[in-house]
Amino acid sequence: MDKPYFVIPIEENDEPLVDLGSYGFELGFNYYTSGFTTYKNALARKTVADKLVNAKNNLSTGYNFKIYDPWRSVETQQNMVDGFARKIRILHPEWNEDQVMTETYEFAAPVTGDPKRPPNHNTGGATDLTILDENRTELDMGGEFDETTERSFLSYYADKDDEVSRKIQANRMMLQKVMTDEGFAINKNEWWHFDYGNQRWAYLTGKEKAFYGGVDALELPKTE
Q: Would you name the residues annotated as active-site residues? A: 190
Query: Is 128 annotated for ligand binding?
Result: yes
Q: Do residues 123 and 15 make contact, with C-beta atoms less than 8 angstroms apart?
A: no
Strands 26-27 and 64-69: parallel
- Which residue type is seen at 111? V
Strands 126-132 and 193-195: antiparallel
Who contacts 113 (Cβ-Cβ below 8 Å, separation ≥6)?
none
Query: Is 121 annotated for ligand binding?
Result: yes
Phi (first) and psi of residue 182, to 5 degrees: -95, 10
Query: Is 50 annotated for ligand binding?
Result: no
CA atoms within 13 A on the CB side of 189: 11
Give the annotated binding-site residues for Zn(2+): 121, 128, 193
Question: What are the binding residues?
Answer: 121, 128, 193
